Structure 1
Amino acid sequence: MSNGLDICSNGNVVGLPTLSALHDAQHNDTNDFPVGKLARCGDLYGASTPMQHLFKMIGKVAPTSANVLIVGESGTGKELVASVIHQMSKDTTSPFVALNCGAVSPQLIEAELFGHERGSFTGAIRTQKGCFERADGGTLFLDEVTEMPLDMQVKLLRVLETNRFYRIGADEESEVSVRVVAATNRDPAEAVAAGILRSDLYYRLAVFPLNLPSLRERSDDVRLLAKLFLDQLNEEEGSSKTFSRASLRLMSSYVWPGNVRELKNVVHRAFILADRELDIAQAIGPMRAAQPECQGDCVTVPLGSKLAEAEQQLICATLDHCGGNKTMTAEVLGVSLKTLYNRLNEYQSKLFLQDAIARPYSIQGRN
C-alpha cells in the first residue's frame, strides 16, 4: 500500500507539501487528512521536519557499505529503518538477517552470531550457520546491541575489523562480507560511561549514527500516521470506520510514550472495539500507572506503599527533575549509572507486561 511520496535515492523528498499546510489540515477535526502527502522512504512515513532529515540521511548512507548505529527510544521503528537501509542498498537481493541481542541468553549468543560445528557442545546435533554467515553479502541487524555481554563485544569487534571468525568447535576461520546495522534504545555515550558498551566497539559501529525522533518530537505526524493505520485496517477488513472528534483531539495532546508502536497498537485496539467511530481514550485505557504526587522538589509517597514502589517513584521523579539526563540522575541518587539503567529496564519491562495483560488479543506490527 503506497499512500505517500517516494524518496529519491539521494535522500531528497519530492513534492513534499509545506508543514504549515499539513498543520492546518491536522487541526481540522475531520477524518479527511492529506495522507497522500506523507513523504515515504521505503515503509517509513512522515511529513515532519525530523523525518525529512532522517529520510535524507538514510538516502545518503544506504548505498554505501558503512556500518550504521541507530539510536532511538523503544517503538520508534529501529528495525524498520534498518530494513529500509538494506532495501536501498546496492544489492537489495542480498540477505537481511536480524538478531535481538537482548533476547538471547549469554550462553547462546556466540552460537547465534557465529554458528557451531556438529558435536561442539551438548545438543549440537548438526553443523549450524550463525547470523554472520547467513547474512554474508548482505546486512546483519543487531538490535539492543548494548545488551550484548562484554566478552562477546570483544569477539564482535574482531569480526568487524577482520571479517573473519571461528564457528564454535571449528578449526578453520570463516570469512564473510557483512554490513552491520546496530541499534540501541540507550544513549551510547552513557552506555560507554556505565561500562556496558565498549568504546572501541561503539566507534566501530557508529561509522554513521542515526538518531530516530520520538513521536512527541514529530507531533505533526501523529494524526497523519493514525489515519494511515486506520486506512490499512479498513482496507483489510472491508470497513469504513472513522475517528471520533474527541479521539482526534486526544491524539495531539497525548505524549505517546510507546511511540509509533503504541500509536499503531492503540489504533488497532480502538478499531476492534469500535462499531463505527474509534474511541482512542478507551483504547489507551488505564494502562499507564499514575505519576507520583510532586510538589516543588518533593515527592509524596503514601504510607503503606511498598519499598520498591517508593523507589520507583523517587527514581522517575528525579529523572524528570534532571530533564531526562541519566548521568545526572545517577549522581543525584548516589547510585552507579549501570544500576540506574537496570532499574529503568525493570520498570519498562513491567509496563510492557501490564500492556500485554490488559489486552487479550495480539496486535501485530513492526514500527
Structure 2
Amino acid sequence: MKKFKFYLFIFAVFISCSSSDDSFDETESRNLISFELTQSFGDYFGDPRLFLYNIDKEEQIEFLTDYDYYDWHKNVIYYTKGLDVWKKSSRGDNRQIASIDAPRVWDIMISPDEKLLAFSTNDAILVLELSSGSLTNITSSLPEARYRKPIWSANGSSLLMQQQLHKVREGDEYPTVTGNYFVYNIRNEDFIEVEMFDEFAFPGSAGWFPDGTAIVYEQYNGIFKYVLANDELIRMTPEDIYAIRPKISPDGNKMSYKMRNNVEGVYDDGLNILAIMNTVTLENEIETDFSGGPLNWSQDSEKLILPYNGISIFNVNTGTLENVIGPIESYYISDPTWLQ
C-alpha cells in the first residue's frame, strides 16, 4: 500500500519520550485512579478538568485543566492542547513533545511502546512517530469516508479504527449514516475489513481481545466477536438482549457490557443492568441491578471502576459494590481510569 509522509507537518520533536523516569512504581501507583469532572448545567457541558484520586489515602488532586484529548499509558498521560502534544507523569512532570500542522486532532491513542501516537483528523487516521517527527496518513488508500477512534492492539502491531459514511438503502429518500471497522497492520501496511452484522447499521463501541487475534464490537443492539485469522463473525449476546459497550478484561476471560431484556412485550426504560460474560462459554456469570456509565477493568481483571453514584468499584469475585467518590452537585463525572 502506498503511504504519504508528511514530514513538514511536524516540528520540534527532539525530547526523548521514554517514561521510565516519570512514573510511580507499582506499589505507589496501584491505588491511583483518574477521572474527568465537567460542569453540567442543563444541556451544557464545559470546562473539563482531570483529577487524580488515591483510594487508600482518600486524597484528590486537580491534575490537568488545559487540554483537549488525552490517553493514559500506565502512569503517564499524553494529551493535546490545540495541535500541540504534551506528556505529563502522575508525579507532575510536564513537557511538550510535538506540534502538528493539521486541520485538527481527535481521539489520540499512544502505542504500547510509547513510540507512535495515533489520532484522527477530519477524514483520516494519522500516525506520528515521536522520535523522528514523521506523520503517516494510513487511511489514504481506503474509500472516502470519515475515520475515527483508533485503538492499538496490546502488542502495538495493529490499529483498529471506525469508518463512518453515508449509504442509500433502496427505496430511501435520504442516506443512512452507517460505517464499518478496519484493522491496520503496522508492519505489513495493509488492512483487514471487518465483517459487519448489518451494513446499514452504525458501528458502536469496539475493542481488542488481549491476544490481538480478535476484536469485539457493538452493532444493531448486539455484541459481536470478529476473529481476524479466519474472518469468523460470532454473535456473543442473544438476539432477545439489547446490549452495548463491551469491554474485554485484561486476561481475556470476561466481558462486561450494559444490557436490558428486549423480549417481545417487555421493555425496561434504560440500560439498567451491568453484565459480566464468560468469553468462552458466552454465558453471563453476573447480572447486577445497576449499570452506570462507561467503565474500565483493573489490570488483575478482578475489579471494574465505573461512574455510578459518583465513582464506584465493583468486585467481580465477591459481587460487592463500593462507592469511592460521591456525586458532585452540578458536575458530571466521567472516564474513571485505573493507573497501572
Give the TM-score normalised by structure 1.
0.29
Which protein, 1 or 2, shows the higher relative CO under an 8 Å CA cutoff with sep ≥ 6? 1
Q: Which has the larger radius of gyration?
A: 1
Give the TM-score normalised by structure 2.
0.30
Higher helix share: 1
